[in-house]
Chain A
Amino acid sequence: MDRLNDVDYMTDMLHRLGEAGLLIDPRFQGIQEKLFDSNVLEWFERETVKMLDSYWHTQDADDLKSDLLFGVVPITEQLVLNCIHNFFLGTAVFVSHDLKGRVDVDSEIAEMALNDVKSFAQNNGFMNLFLCFCVITGFESHQALAHYGRLTEKAFVSGEKHRPGSSDTLETELFVGLSAGFYEKVEVDGETYIQLTDAGWKRRQKALRMLTESKYLQYRMQVIYISQFDQIDDWEAILDKIFPEAVPLRSDYLHFLEVRPGMEVLELGCGSGTFTFDSGLADAVGKEGWVTATDPSAGMLYRAQQKLDKLGYENVSIEAAAAEEIPYGNQEFDCTVGVSFFHFSDKPRALKEMIRVTRPGGIVGLQGPLQFNLDRPFFREWFEEIFLLARKRGADRPQSYLPQETGEISGFVRKHGLKNVEEQTVTMPWVFADPENVLQFMVYGVGLFQQEMIFLPLAAREELIERLIEKGKDICARYSLAERTIELPTYFVKGTV
């Protein structure tokens, strides 16, 4: 049975894989390995061999050994080994990001990653883990070939353009791709190139469908958003420069919400605590009230805790939580609120959770950015390449995850049962101060062009960012600060449960 071609089947498996937290990104495999402690690497190698023994060198491995990938390519020991090893490494990186906010794989994290991978294989069958691996890694190579048109055989196998450090895997993968008829070799000026065949282009489309419909790419992107926040040391300094009026704007939002003394408030996506402390949420609830500030990012929680320790508020607690799964009981809060987090979340799940934990008559509030004017001359010029990438995809402008207008959000919360919904649209200046700062914020911070960049091969992505920084220097020299300021529309929405 050719399950790799069964979109429904693979979509279901990839979904389970994402839910289990096995979010590997083959583009980073080789780079990650360098970040690992040698003890951990040795441990992973030992465990890889052990797992290989129990799934490959065993009498029950017949279905694995007799199966043909895409109906034609036999599964080899090397492929199975790569699969296990890659899942161990990749999962360890994600667990580390999740728990620590940085890549620091100690023995405890390593143990957790091993457990996650083994549990998935046990619960869903090893074959399915392996098939998911084939889809994910295969897609990455197809994607690189689609982007570059063709790669020399040497470049493909070394992975220098798309998957550095994966050379041991890529040679086998090249063999699979050629045997399955997805790649072909062409000779140009005495050099051998690899390119996609028609079947290869179709395969890429199919794999893309599996990866998007299962939400696997979305899960992975969410983790990347969160961990990128963690990487930026001076996040607040960057924000101050870019949004000089963020604190007063959030204070306005607090008035709009009508938070009163004595209220028990749950804050989602508290970040480093700007809204909690600087904009006055903790003051607004007073000594009789309470703020429970939450965020899923380990790095942000650390910063919020530092701020709390420094300021010494006695009516604030901090907790690790995602909006989609709030770890509190039903109807515990008078007000559940978050600023600039909603667009990063799985919206229906997050809103349902917010409503669940809020008391009847209590307030649910949201604030966040709306789509902004992309047609300002400096912006068009600066990010021309991103516009081109979008056009390549068949869109006339970069895809945005931001809502068009406030009514979109207020309509959405109404549909989910909130009553007495009120809304307001305000603007705040968004200053494109200096190139480094802007790119840090847009690419690593809020992932504004993530939709355009996610499919780029690794080297192409890095090169693009470099070029955008260079271009930015020129733009900043030619346009005044006023010309480089966008009025960012922002929505305020609240309703009662």
Chain B
Amino acid sequence: MVTRIALCTDDPQMAENVPRLFDELAEIRVYPRKNFVFDSEVLSQYDYFVLGVSSPGEADWRLCRVIVNEGLPQVYLMLGHSPSLYLRKRAEQIGIKEVLLDPLLKLRNMAEKEAELLSILKPAEADSPTDDPDLKYLGCNVYFHTKEYWAGSSDQKNQLSERETKLLKLFLANKGKIVSTDVIAKAVWGGHIEKNSVRKSIKRLREKLGDGKELIKGRKQGGYIYRGE
């Protein structure tokens, strides 16, 4: 599902650049900050509400508080400079999820010298050594190590049991195909298992995949499918 973001700002650079930067990742709609009218029906369509401002005034804090109190969507503050401790504290008190930095400014800050600029533009080193033949990429930044029995990323590994590993391998081998509960029961448990235990085991496996839990989807008529990314 595409993340939907309402960006409320009067900064023309932010209004133009932020949606462009995250074009593929999110659906960003820009609202003018001046005279912004709070409408819970409009806002409820968004996952995030980002208020972009160089330094927030009382009206901005009020707006954030109202949206936080309404309970949706999550509120972020995007600044054109690094926030002071006071500002962070205040944002936290109101219930603002996080204080963000204008992404372009962030890039500029990261590269004060030309040499640094080039190093930023270089492709990132692979997070995990992809030349490890036992490390499979599942999608959603989640890896699966078929020998070490874990799923996750290099800093968030969830250890899998032998059966869970077998189950995940079965999905990988059948990428894009529907796998029925019966097939899973036979392949992973030799048939000696109840249907509901298969179901519960898959629920658990999905939880172990963390950010990748949506990679294995149920089919409403029964069975499961792993599509990858």
Contacts and interface: CB of A to CB of B under 8 A. Distances in A.
Nearest to B221: A317
A123 B155 contact: yes
Interface in A286-334: 290, 292, 296, 298, 301-302, 305, 317-322, 325, 327-330, 332-333
A378 B174 CA distance: 61
Interface in B153-182: 155-164
A332 B196 CA distance: 22
B221 A290 contact: yes
Interface in B171-229: 194-197, 199-204, 206-207, 213, 216-222
A319 B71 contact: no
B220 A318 contact: no
Contact of A122 (B157, B163, B207): B157
B203 A111 contact: no
A290 B220 contact: yes
B158 A115 contact: yes
A112 B161 contact: yes
B54 interface: no
A392 interface: no
B45 interface: yes
B207 A99 contact: no
A144 interface: no
A119 interface: yes
B72 interface: yes
Max chain B C-beta neighbours (<10 A), residue from A118, A266, A327, A329: A327
Given A305-B196, A348-B72, A416-B72, A266 B203 contact: no
A98 B203 CA distance: 10
B70 interface: yes
B217 A99 contact: no
B220 A21 contact: no
B155 A415 contact: no
Contact of B1 (A119, A292, A330): A330
Contact of A327 (B1, B41, B45, B206): B206
Nearest to B223: A317
B155 A317 contact: no
A321 to B, nearest CB: 7
Nearest to B42: A417
Contacts of B71: 348, 415
Max chain A C-beta neighbours (<10 A), residue from B45, B196, B200, B216: B196
Contact residue range for chain B? Answer: 35 or more
B153 to A, nearest CB: 10
A241 interface: no
A356 interface: yes
B17 interface: no
A320 B199 contact: yes
Contacts of A122: 157, 159
A136 B70 CA distance: 32
B87 to A, nearest CB: 18
B162 A100 contact: no
Interface string B115-137: 00000000000000000000000
Interface string A88-130: 0000000100111000000010011001101100110000000
A317 B221 CA distance: 6
Given A115-B158, A301-B196, A108 B163 contact: yes
Contact of A123 (B157, B162, B164, B219): B157
25 contacts: A95-B204, A99-B197, A100-B197, A115-B160, A118-B159, A119-B150, A119-B159, A123-B155, A123-B156, A292-B220, A296-B203, A301-B200, A318-B199, A320-B202, A321-B218, A322-B203, A327-B202, A327-B203, A327-B206, A328-B220, A329-B217, A348-B72, A415-B44, A415-B70, A416-B44
Interface of B: 1, 40-41, 44-45, 70-72, 150, 155-164, 194-197, 199-204, 206-207, 213, 216-222
Given A99-B197, A301-B200, A415-B70, 15 more contacts: A99-B200, A99-B201, A108-B161, A115-B159, A119-B159, A292-B220, A298-B197, A317-B222, A318-B195, A319-B218, A321-B203, A327-B206, A356-B1, A415-B72, A416-B44
